[in-house]
Structure formats: C-alpha cells, structure tokens
Structure 1
C-alpha cells in the first residue's frame, strides 16, 4: 500500500512503475482521458513527408494553422490565437488579466488556482453540489459573483465531474458577468467528446461578448499531448493583441503547426472518435447501473465520475486493485469537495473498458 498522501496524474507512469514494479509500457492509463484511437491516421501517414519544414522558421503569425482552426471551430480567423499547449495560453491570459480574486467552479483542474496564485491573486471556489449531480445552479452562482471578483473560471465539460453547461446557460452567465465587470475563462479541453458539440461550445458567443476567452488543445481529443499545441478563441481584439505582443515568437514548432492542420481536417477520424465515445459512454453507464454499491454521475465527456457506496471500500482500494492488473484510474480524493469515495476513469475501447469494469465491479460486490 502506498502512502495515502501520494496521488497520481495521468502522466505519472514513471512513478507508478517505480512503486508497483510494473513497466510503464504495460500500464493502460484510464486516468489521462486521451482518445483511445491514438493519433490521426492521416497524421501518422503524412507528417514524416513534411520533415524538411524544420529547416525553416515557422510563419510567425501561424496564418495557415489559424485559418484551419477557425474553420474547425466555425469562427473568424482573427479570433484565433495559438500557443504551446493550452497551458501556455492559460498562463499568459492570467498574467495579463492579473486577477485579484478569481472564482473557480469546482471540483476541477488545479492548474487554474496555481496560475492565479503565481500572480499573487486569491481564489475562491463555487461548489458544484453532489446532491444536484454536480450540475451548475446559475442563481446560486450569481450570488457568489460579488463585485470584488474579477475572473470566473469554468471548465466545460468539467473535469472530473464530466458535467457540462449548455450554451444558452453560458450566455446567461456572461450577461451576469458583463454587468459586474467580470471576465470569464472557459476551458473547453473536452468539448469535442460531447454528443452535441454545438449545444455545449461557447465559441459562437465570442462574436457577441468581449468578456470571454475559450481555451482548447490537442492533447485529449487528438491524442497528441507531446506536440504541445493549444489555441484560444476570443472576440476581444485588444486582449488578443496584448497576448500576441507578450507571447514569445515561434512557440509552436514547424511540425506541430503542420500536424495541427492535418488533424483538424481528418473528418473520418473525428467522426469515428465521437461515435466510439458515445457508444462506450452509454454502454459503460448501463453496466454500472447494475451495481448497488456505486453511483455514477451522468457523463457528457469521455470520462465518468463514480462514487463508491460500499462502506469498507475506498478510492485507493479501487486504484490499487486496478493498477495491479495494469489499469490506471484516477483517485479523486485530492480534488476540492471530493473525498476518498470518488474515482474517475475515461472511456477506451470496448475490450479495455470491460476489463476495467470487471475489476471495479468485483471490488464492489
């Protein structure tokens, strides 16, 4: 048994290898939330043919890549900014806005709080309530959006709850924030996995609101975290200009820029991914419904949050049972407002999902 204070991110395979004596190559990570299909087949076939691109500097404005992204998300090219992963853009945006007090909807990803604190700002959390299935209550949220809050941070769909805010509700939130002088940062890392992307994404709202910025990347949906390519969608020209001026030039290498264009145009891969996740999301939920010793919260993304109802079993018990079979899940006890009764795992291929479910359901008999 490892120390209870030790918890693992989806990329911590070296640590897992050391503690459990399992080769990292043999670990199937249900914790990383990455597309189980792997990288785009078109990218695999064609990127090597463009290797000579590294002999030249990339276009400083990444014009071709930005046009491709604009077509992919159905927005104007001037509203797109690219960076070295969404993490760089989140950091850059928060440095520029330098919020004194940020309200973060949680439980959620810890990096938001870290970035705000680096700028010496303070953070508060708006708590998504378990009894409300972790769905957002806008009336309750509005009460927390006081005049001293200058930034609202939303992950949509949210990690780890896999809940999502529909675009019509996001418009209401933006109206409230606009009246109070609050900027809204929306992380849409997982939006492409949802059944109806256009119902969830806030991208169209950037044409009407100047107090929103949307961040996305290719790490999860396109299974390419190593390429470090992210992008922002924003209709606030002044903000984008300042971000461009402060951003280091050529933060995206030539091959990553080319890879982005290939991936965003691989419609067969995009369609196949969404189909697989939708089918497995429904099928896994159906299997979990048969157990009386757990509760799952209806997922909208490519992962699911589960609460363990069996008294003597903890999230670490499930984690250890799974990892000893070579399956890595997420013990959610370190997320704000969650405890050692919550786990999260992503949807993979049917065979792998079934193998993991056998382990979990056996522990919860």
Structure 2
C-alpha cells in the first residue's frame, strides 16, 4: 500500500487512486475547507453569467479590488490579485529574493520550496511543543539577525492553529524594518478565528511598508477550483515589481466575477464563523477529557492532536479512518512533528461526531 503521509491535505484524487474509494464518498477532514461549501448566492449569480467566459476580465481588476477592500478594510491601491495564494507566495518570495530567510515552523512546505527555488537559504524558527506551539517573541527577535532578509509566517499557523497577536506582529515588523527584512504573513485561515481583529496584520500595512499579507479563497469560501488569491502591501516598489513579474489576466473572468460576490456575502461569513466556532469549541472540550490525546487550542478551522500513547501511530489512525471513508491528516510530514501528531478540520456536527467516535474507539479503548 502506498503511504501518502507527505501528500497535501485534501488530495482526494490520490486517495481515490491508492485506496479505491470514490472521492465523492470521502469525508475530507484533511483539506481544511468550509463545511458549508461554496456560497449559494455566488453560485446562483455565476449560473446566470457563464457568458463571461467569452470575455477578458478587467486588466486592473478594479471592482474585485474594491470588493476585497470593503471586506478587509484595506486600501484597494494596496491590493494585488493572483491565481491562488500559491502564486502570490511564489511571486513575493521571488521578488524579495532574500539570501537568508527565517520561516516559522512547523509550516506549509510551499514556503521553503519557493525560497529554495530562488536560490536562497532558509532556516526554521521552531514553535515548541513544550510551549504549546505559541510564539516565543523574545527568542524570535533574537533569531532575526541583520543577515536575515525575510521572515515568513502563517497566522493562524498551519498545522498548530496558534496565532500571533497584532501587538506582537508590530514588534516583529519594527524589528525587521531596522534590519532591512521583509515580512510575509499568510492569513489563509484567519477568517475562521474567534479573535480576528486581535490577530489580523492588515491594519499594519499602512504603517509598515516591509509587510506583505496574503489570503486566498480556497478554505473559507470553499472555492479551491477558482484559484483566486489576494495580497496586501503598501510598498510601492514591490507593487510595481509585482505588476511586472506576473502574467496579465492571471485571474480569469469567472474568478473575477465570483470574487465580487463572495466578499460581500456577509450572511455567509457570519454563518461560517458561527458554525466553525461552535463545533471547534465542542470538539476541543470533548478531546480535552481524553487521557491518550492532547489537543492544542486553535484559532483556525482545524485542531492539532498529539497521541500520548505508543499503542497506535498517526499513520495507523489515518489507515483506520480511511477504511471508514474519513480522511484525516497524518501530520508527521511537517517539520518538527513526528508520528504522534495528526490534524483534522471542522466539518458538520454529524461528521465531527462520527470522527471523534472513531478516534476514541482506537485511542481511548
């Protein structure tokens, strides 16, 4: 049997090929996608406007940027859009072209990949298990020496779910400004947080021109297929280079149209936040009563678990769950984590209950 521990979460096609389970039947706890699915209002509008596929989008994406600005509070002139957040991560890292970068870890593997592709060197700043994966700010500031050209962090962090407070981020940015380092903050999961205003870096963009904040639409809006991401920066030099380094019309007409609808669907935003918040609290409360698992508090739509028993590994739990057509994430492929770590995302109440029952059967028995 092929081991898929190093696959990205949500790779249903790989699971289907390996295990022979139709991907439509898999309950995906690994992809971190909104359980409410794609916003109905945007879906209905799209059905009435499929003719847009015959037209080019606005090259400057003015309406889309205005919608994003209304949604985030950012100045539309500071907003760039791209073919998913992955393109923006790549473009920013290649534009900065730092010789030495520090990545907060454990982390999404795409950060180190892009640094390496550009010929740069990187090292990880570890979030430590003994500190519940919370940021040790003094230690980070000490690690950010004058030879560092870029600092990269996901906030809330994947896979730990821990978050950097805005006040802490201001200290990081001020320090990085002094040493001449750029800062990239990936806020892919921030919209699921109960304390978004307390951890959001977008308000700092006007104050610090060495900051680039990235978000996408794959997770919160359950729209990985439209490949729409956006970034926010007040650094005019970077914004000008970004225009030069990206292809025209990298966001297609349908994604442009969809973006103008999903960012203004405030009812969908509230429903998502209420569901995820309630189910996350319920799951964490249940897991906190178990003797053989430690659950880490999360500000994202997923929870990281550590097995406190050697009777079963994360991969063995992965195998047990996939036989029940439930796909969890064996987190051992993340830097600093081992075979005792797994991650699952929040889905519907019924699905969450079913997964917890299955985990409890194997872990707590």
Mark yes or no: TM-score above 0.5: yes
The answer to whether the 8 A contact 2:5-2:331 is kept is no
* Alpha-carbon separation, structure 1, partners of 2:232 and 2:69: 9
Q: CA deviation at 1:259?
A: 0.2
What is the TM-score of this pair, normalised by structure 2? 0.98
- Please give the residue correspondences for 1:215-364 in structure 2 after superposition, counting only pairs within 5 Å: 215-364=214-363
What per-residue deviation string (whole Å, max 9, x for no partner) do you get for residues 269-324 of structure 1?
00000000000010001111121000011111100000001112100111111111
SS at match of 2:291: coil
SS at match of 1:88: helix
**Between 52-61 and 270-279, the greater mean CA deviation after superposition:** 52-61
* Alpha-carbon separation, structure 2, partners of 1:98 and 1:295: 39
* Alpha-carbon separation, structure 2, partners of 1:104 and 1:233: 19
* Alpha-carbon separation, structure 2, partners of 1:132 and 1:174: 23
Q: CA deviation at 1:21?
A: 2.0
* Alpha-carbon separation, structure 1, partners of 2:69 and 2:264: 12
- Please give the residue correspondences for 1:1-365 in structure 2 after superposition, counting only pairs within 5 Å: 2=1, 6-365=5-364
* Alpha-carbon separation, structure 2, partners of 1:49 and 1:84: 23
* Alpha-carbon separation, structure 1, partners of 2:54 and 2:13: 33
Aligned alpha-carbon RMSD (Å): 1.0
Q: CA deviation at 1:93?
A: 1.0
Q: CA deviation at 1:14?
A: 2.1
What runs of 5+ residues in structure 1 fail to find an aligned partner? none
SS at match of 2:48: helix
Q: CA deviation at 1:22?
A: 1.2
The answer to whether the 8 A contact 1:8-1:330 is kept is no
CA gap of 1:263–1:5, structure 2 versus 1, over 3 A, is: closer
The answer to whether the 8 A contact 1:219-1:228 is kept is yes
4+ runs deviating over 4 angstroms: 3-6
What per-residue deviation string (whole Å, max 9, x for no partner) do you get for residues 149-194 of structure 1?
1000010000000000011110011111111111100000000000
Q: CA deviation at 1:62?
A: 0.3
* Alpha-carbon separation, structure 1, partners of 2:4 and 2:204: 41
Q: CA deviation at 1:15?
A: 2.1
SS at match of 2:10: coil
Q: CA deviation at 1:130?
A: 0.4
Q: CA deviation at 1:75?
A: 1.3
* Alpha-carbon separation, structure 2, partners of 1:14 and 1:261: 30
Q: CA deviation at 1:121?
A: 0.4
* Alpha-carbon separation, structure 1, partners of 2:7 and 2:319: 12
CA gap of 1:85–1:5, structure 2 versus 1, over 3 A, is: closer
Q: CA deviation at 1:24?
A: 1.1
* Alpha-carbon separation, structure 1, partners of 2:166 and 2:207: 13
